[in-house]
Structure 1
């Protein structure tokens, strides 16, 4: 779908929900659509929106993000960074793999195939699949090379994260590994 068509679809959906089509909402949606494929956090989106319209405040950006997520028009992604990232969904089901040590994020290919698999699991249960994003934690090839023969469970963070204080590493933040 063309970006102009996506914008029209978003604006129409807001109308259908009885919501006002304010100039700030339009700028926020346009900015999201101009950054398809990126996993923006609220601050990154705010900076991009401010380049277009300096009058849009952070509270407006955040409320609009929450509104769009609630309507299923935007995916919220949690990569254990302490904040959420957002993306415009392009399919009903979207899968991300992310490295728990360096934060690298990749999309799984063949999402339609994976969606068909999930639908087959749901057959007979009475459930229908809703649009959603999955985040699956793991260790990328580069970080695995840093581990040598040690297992991920016992590798010291300093060896993996090289003392960078990587926020994504839950052991550095004192988080629970479970």
Structure 2
């Protein structure tokens, strides 16, 4: 985690910003909850427990700054709620997601499956892709198993 925080500090400094106590607490919360895709309010509540004097506006501004620096992405998994997801440091593109429309479970796909498509887009349209986002929506294995089990019970 220290290495990731130092990388983010360098990104901020390169753009003329400092890694203040509030910003560092926000970054730590994101790193510690990387799989959870937290909302601004959830991030704020955790940061506030670490830095009691922080205001929600500071957390909002920090998240927007981190988004501008491409440290995080603001994502919406179809529930109308904006969440924040850390970008992978060593990958030029944002990672993909599998989203269950039944239970809301989200799983990340870290491998970049779209590079061949990007090359084709550039070749055929002369368009340079700078980033992409891919979300698969459907029904996860657990929900499918529950549907099958419920169907079997209702038939019995």
Q: Is 1:129 matched with 2:152?
A: no
2:7 equivalent in structure 1? 9
After TM superposition, the score normalised by the length of structure 2 is 0.78
CA apart distance, 1:6:
1.6
Gaps of at least 5 residues in structure 2 are 151-156
2:139 equivalent in structure 1? 139
1:60 equivalent in structure 2? 58
**Equivalent pairs, count:** 145
CA apart distance, 1:38:
2.7
After TM superposition, the score normalised by the length of structure 1 is 0.69
The 3 A distance-change label for structure 1 pair 134 and 17 is same
- Give the CA RMSD over aligned residues: 2.3
CA apart distance, 1:54:
0.9
CA apart distance, 1:132:
4.5
CA distance in 2, matches of 1:37, 1:117: 27
CA-to-partner distance for each residue in 1:118-153, whole Å, 9 max, x for gaps? 3333332333333454322222234345556xxxxx
Deviates more, 1:30-39 or 1:43-52: 30-39
2:134 is paired with a residue whose SS is strand
1:44 equivalent in structure 2? 42
1:101 equivalent in structure 2? 102
2:52 is paired with a residue whose SS is coil
Select the structure that is richer in helix.
Answer: 2
